[in-house]
Amino acid sequence: MSMSKTVDLAAHPLTVWQGPLGLPDFSRIGDNDFGPVFDAALAAHQAEIDAIAGNSEAPTVENTLAELELAGEALDHVSSIFWCRAGAHTNDTIQAMEREVSPKMSRHFSAISMNEKLFARIDDLYQRRDTLQLDAETLRVLEKTWKGFVRSGAKLDAEGKKRLAAINEELSSLGTKFGQNVLADERDWALFLDEADLAGLPDFLKSAMAEAAEMRGQKGRYAVTLSRSIYEPFSTFSERRDLREIAFKAFIMRGQNGGASDNTDVVRDMLKLRAEKAKLLGYGSFAALKLDDTMAKTPKAVHELLDPVWEKALEKAAADQKELERLAAEAGSNEKFAAWDWRFYQEKLRAEKFAFDEAELKPYLQLERVIEACFDVATRLFGITFEEKKGITAWHPDARVFVVKNADGSERGLFLADYFARPSKRSGAWMSALRSGYKLGDGAKPVIYNIMNFAKPPAGEAALLSVDEAKTLFHEFGHALHGMLTDVTWPSVSGTSVSRDFVELPSQLYEHWLTVPAVLEKHALHVKTGKPMPKALLDKMLAARTFGAGFATVEFTASALIDMAYHARPDAPAEPLRYEAETLEKLHMPDTIAMRHRTPHFGHIFAGDGYSAGYYSYMWSEVLDADAFSAFEETGDAFNPELAERLRKNIYAAGGSKDPEELYTAFRGKMPSPEAMMVKRGLV
């Protein structure tokens, strides 16, 4: 008898959420619970699908499309908790489960999208869509569902379906392996230092490194780790060139260190399978397949955005490098300027040009105050408020719970946030949902979460952020608002369920409010004195906003161009890492700047399918966000109520209920050109 028989889905804490505020009761969930519940939930979902597909009545929106959207609630519940744990607080048991469950889920959803009876019912509705008198959102959901089935192989012959399912399953396993390999390299590498090795390091960094060393059993020492919140400031401030070089090389070699955690073969196999998948589905390349459902539509359109930006970024970086080399020479360095020198001398140049350094800003950017600023801006723009509820158990003691309320006091949903780095958490920052908000059937309120990786301060000290980290907090909170403000009927177009190159608009746009002077004056208060950031420092910070644009744009755009190079070709390179090097050489990539994400740790495009052939999306959305924020600037009021309402309605609340161009145009009146973005970046 399989274990799944013994699971009561109607009573299990993974599927029936009876914790405080209607959250899962995390105190009753054990690491070993997931396996049997997944099996039972997959079986239950399959039974629902069979019932929909086998219904003898003629297909209607109610008995087919709506039933399909609402099916699998138990599976949604266990999945959302599991993937949260896999990213934010993993361990050997969870990782083993991840390796088991990824291919299982892939098999399960492949079978659904290739279910002939089910597709026949969807196809029947789709062919009759013009006679069904559907509202715009329902019509869009029907069209998206039909296209999703076709893109998932519904029209392939039996042999093709079988092969596609096998490809998807293998890709799913490889994506899991890729992510776990990077996590292993990040977890297992640390450079332990003593007091004598800390020349140039500011206090905030020393205390974060002391905390990281203690976490790794080396109390009394200091650890450089591969978490960006330690690696980047260390590279920026450490006067020890030899140590900067060691840290730099470890950082760019994640996933490429030989042995069990090496991703070289994983990437090769993934690219090969993706190319085969695209061909099977009738597309010229994997990029063509992935871009079919985006605003950009084609690799050509992506290059029309990226190529001119790349040229400008190269020019800017070359000019900047001359300045940095001058500073290095003045400091008495006669070594050839290298990639591990860039951040260090860029910080010195910033101090020379703008008479301040990052370390001077940090005391004004306390994590708690920046969180308050995020909430305050949301209240001023959209009328929603946040109230923290203490003492509620989530997936980790660091995770915090907030109730989100509408202006009239009614409950809108929940927001959870987990801010600090730890070895059990994958690097980076992200937003996700334990549950999406929608109105179909009985409806559901959104339960949204943000994950960050800020360095944890010693007990009793305030966590201080860099400007970049404060922006990241605003960015992920912008995604969270997209999930929380959603106001749609159908689950599949709720919140962030929009095209990949539109999804970054709400998040990147929100970053702009961090540097609105009124926001900084209120929330950027000195950690010791409580005084607001002096106007002179604020002005310097704002003046320096585009400083370092050459470096940042080369770093990002190189990654986006490599992503397209891999995926826009009809086949796959035999040796991807060699191909990466050759492509960068053709692009004239400076050897003094590394890609923001090199191939062996490029989780956006290889730890799953998320941003594959889609890393450009951040810049595509940036064209929109620069233009959208200028709408507010043009009115002279960053909180203009009429604009804020248009923004809420058409961007944050609309989800994927309409075409993104239509939504953007409803907000702004027209589509933008890339000029505003280039100006904002300081490239023009």
Identify whether the C-beta of residue 246 lies closer than 8 Å to the C-beta of residue 222.
no
- Print the SS3 string covering 514-579: HHCHHHHHHHCECCCCCCECCHHHHHHHHHCCCCCHHHHHHHHHHHHHHHHHHHCCCCCCCCHHHH
Q: Which of these is catalytic: 69, 186, 476, 555?
A: 476
Identify whether the C-beta of residue 523 lies closer than 8 Å to the C-beta of residue 378.
no
Between CA 282 and CA 682 the distance in angstroms is 41
Between CA 664 and CA 597 the distance in angstroms is 30
Q: Select from 568, 566, 565 the least CA-distant residue to 288.
A: 568
476 is catalytic: yes
Identify whether the C-beta of residue 448 lies closer than 8 Å to the C-beta of residue 485.
no
Between CA 393 and CA 390 the distance in angstroms is 9
Between CA 125 and CA 127 the distance in angstroms is 6
The answer for residues whose C-beta is within 8 angstroms of residue 339's C-beta and 6 or more apart is 248, 591, 592, 593, 594
Identify whether the C-beta of residue 548 lies closer than 8 Å to the C-beta of residue 346.
yes
Residue 30: C-alpha distances to residues 36, 81, 94, 297 (Å) = 12, 12, 10, 44
Q: Which residues of 222-257 are buried (b: 16+ CB within 10 A; e: fewer)?
A: bbbbbbbbbbbbbbbbbebeebbbebbebbbbbbbb
Residue 157: C-alpha distances to residues 108, 116, 152, 220, 426 (Å) = 19, 11, 12, 64, 40
Pairing state of beta strands 411-420 and 191-193?
unpaired
Q: Select from 11, 16, 58, 14 the least CA-distant residue to 37.
A: 14
Sequence letter at residue 360: E
Identify whether the C-beta of residue 594 lies closer than 8 Å to the C-beta of residue 643.
no
User: From the CA atom positions of the chain, what is the Rg in Å?
Assistant: 25
Distance of CA 639 to the CA centre of its chain: 26
Identify whether the C-beta of residue 664 lies closer than 8 Å to the C-beta of residue 624.
yes
* Bridge partners of residue 403, in order along the sequence: 387, 414
Dihedral sign computed on CA atoms, order 554, 557, 559, 563: negative
Residue 58: exposure state from Cβ atoms within 10 A (0-12, 13-18, ≥19): exposed
Please give the DSSP secondary-structure letter assigned to residue 407: T
The answer for residues whose C-beta is within 8 angstroms of residue 398's C-beta and 6 or more apart is 418, 419, 420, 422, 456
Between CA 95 and CA 90 the distance in angstroms is 7
* Bridge partners of residue 435, in order along the sequence: 447
Query: Which residues are tagged catalytic?
Result: 476
